[in-house]
Chains A and B, each alone.
Chain A
Amino acid sequence: EAGVTQFPSHSVIEKGQTVTLRCDPISGHDNLYWYRRVMGKEIKFLLHFVKESKQDESGMPNNRFLAERTGGTYSTLKVQPAELEDSGVYFCASSQDIWSGRGKVTQYFGPGTRLLVL
């Protein structure tokens, strides 16, 4: 079974440009999450999709960030326009339906996209 995949693995852009990150969750996982780690700090929650619906976007920093999950499969996270403070590692994770039981709360993480804004 394929794990969570993310593309690109690295991205270097200039301030003011646009970048789109993609995440493909594990097949059959309804829940998809985005997290971000700014260098040296903790990994922080950005948002949570259940299928194609945004369940919780309380962690999104500002309106320069737009996440979509059309069709409930893969997701994209667009940053437009990018600022220096957006640099960091963006992780995507997916999980099964948590209502299936307490044991199914595990989130499986992708390798991350390392974004550097110059």
Chain B
Amino acid sequence: AQSVTQLGSHVSVSEGALVLLRCNYSSSVPPYLFWYVQYPNQGLQLLLKYTSAATLVKGINGFEAEFKKSETSFHLTKPSAHMSDAAEYFCAVSSTGNQFYFGTGTSLTVIP
């Protein structure tokens, strides 16, 4: 069985501060892992993905995530938050590349 847990449904950070959004997954086989972002009134946009290459994955808009097998984690980070990063972020896991299992999402607020 596969599942994703995103700790913290709401995260607030100050502009310029570190962004850390947590994602832990459960998968019985080597997983594909994804982070998607949803800006207000828009669809899901791929931020980055892990597909068994480098464990540190760099994505768009300065985001990156590190795959840690021993911790079954794929946390999303960005060194310095911008106001434009305010959005909802979703972590997803898949063992086949077909059915994706999503977490419940984390809403990021950036405080000026």
Please report A residues at the B interface, Cβ cutoff 8 Å: 4, 31, 33, 35, 40-45, 48, 55-56, 58-59, 91, 93, 95, 98, 102-112
Given A40-B104, A44-B102, verify A109-B51 contact (CB < 8 Å).
Answer: no
- A10–B93 Cα distance when bound, in Å, is 28
Contact of A35 among B32, B42, B100 (CB under 8 A): B100
- Beyond A45-B100, A98-B97, 17 additional pairs, beta carbon < 8 A: A33-B98, A35-B100, A40-B104, A42-B101, A42-B102, A43-B44, A43-B100, A43-B102, A45-B101, A55-B98, A104-B97, A105-B51, A106-B46, A106-B49, A109-B43, A110-B43, A111-B42
Cross-chain contact B100 with A108 (CB below 8 angstroms): no
CB-based nearest A residue for B96: A98
Cross-chain contact B102 with A105 (CB below 8 angstroms): no
Please report B residues at the A interface, Cβ cutoff 8 Å: 4, 32, 34, 36, 42-46, 49, 51-52, 90, 92, 94, 96-105
Cross-chain contact B98 with A98 (CB below 8 angstroms): yes
Could you say which residues of chain A place their CB within 8 Å of the CB of B4? Answer: 42
Contact of B99 among A4, A45, A91, A102 (CB under 8 A): A45
Cross-chain contact A102 with B52 (CB below 8 angstroms): yes
- A98–B97 Cα distance when bound, in Å, is 7
Could you say which residues of chain A place their CB within 8 Å of the CB of B51? Answer: 102-103, 105
Cross-chain contact A56 with B46 (CB below 8 angstroms): no
6 cross-chain pairs, A with B, having the tightest CB-CB distances, nearest first: A105-B97, A111-B43, A109-B44, A43-B102, A98-B97, A42-B104
CB-based nearest A residue for B46: A106
Cross-chain contact A112 with B43 (CB below 8 angstroms): yes
Cross-chain contact B104 with A105 (CB below 8 angstroms): no
CB-based nearest A residue for B105: A42
Could you say which residues of chain A place their CB within 8 Å of the CB of B43? Answer: 4, 91, 109-112
Cross-chain contact A41 with B98 (CB below 8 angstroms): no
Cross-chain contact A105 with B103 (CB below 8 angstroms): no
Given A106-B49, A111-B43, verify A95-B97 contact (CB < 8 Å).
Answer: yes
Between B46, B98, B104, the greatest number of chain A beta carbons within 10 A of the residue's beta carbon is seen for B98
